[in-house]
Amino acid sequence: MDRWVLWFATGFGLGRSPIMPGTIGCLVGLPLGWGLMQIDSLGIQILIAAVLVLVSIPLCDRAEKLIGGKDPQSIVADEYLTLPICVIGLSAPLYLISGFIFHRIFDITKPPPIRNVQSLSGGWGVVVDDLLAALLAWGCNTLLAYGISLLCI
């Protein structure tokens, strides 16, 4: 069972990349985000995104214990399972790419309040900063979509 936990937590091994493991591992979230964008119901999109986040917490908690240390870089389930949040309510492929970019910017730079939640322990500490990064990215993505819609009128 622990091998499966590590397999999923490391993004099927992508999180073990020696170069930018968080960004490489986050690529696993692109098909999840694309799939979410294909669902017409906003409520179902939110429900699925919430379930993915709730799954990531115990997964990352167990993986952190198996690997050791606080929020090891090789654990990327927190990145790829929160990425779909960035595209809730959006349908154009452009927003999947911009959501990915915004998510990575906020996760890497950790502006307040993201930096402030780093002290949480276990799976919560691994996931909550990425959840906040995804929510900020969703806000930016939504503003981008609104701006583009104004230009196209």
H and E: helices and strands count for the chain: 7, 0
What is the domain partition of the chain in residue ranges? 2-151
Look at the alpha carbons of 14, 112, 109, 37 in this order and tell me if their dihedral is positive or negative: positive
Q: According to the model, what pLDDT value does residue 1 have? A: 86
Q: According to the model, what pLDDT value does residue 108 have? A: 95
pLDDT band (50, 70, 90) for residue 71:
confident
Q: Using CA atoms, how far apart are residues 120 and 147, in angstroms rounded to an integer?
A: 36
pLDDT band (50, 70, 90) for residue 79:
very high
Q: According to the model, what pLDDT value does residue 80 have? A: 98
CA 105 distance to own-chain centroid: 12
Look at the alpha carbons of 38, 43, 44, 45 in this order and tell me if their dihedral is positive or negative: positive
Q: According to the model, what pLDDT value does residue 89 have? A: 98
Q: According to the model, what pLDDT value does residue 62 have? A: 97
Q: According to the model, what pLDDT value does residue 5 have? A: 96
Q: H helices of 10-121, where?
A: 21-26, 29-37, 42-67, 77-82, 93-109
Q: Using CA atoms, how far apart are residues 123 and 32, in angstroms rounded to an integer?
A: 21
pLDDT tens, 27-67?
A: 999 999 999 999 999 999 999 999 999 999 999 999 999 99
pTM for the predicted model, two decimal places:
0.94
Q: Using CA atoms, how far apart are residues 13 and 135, in angstroms rounded to an integer?
A: 26
Q: Using CA atoms, how far apart are residues 110 and 132, in angstroms rounded to an integer?
A: 9
pLDDT tens, 102-137?
A: 999 999 999 988 888 878 889 999 999 999 999 999
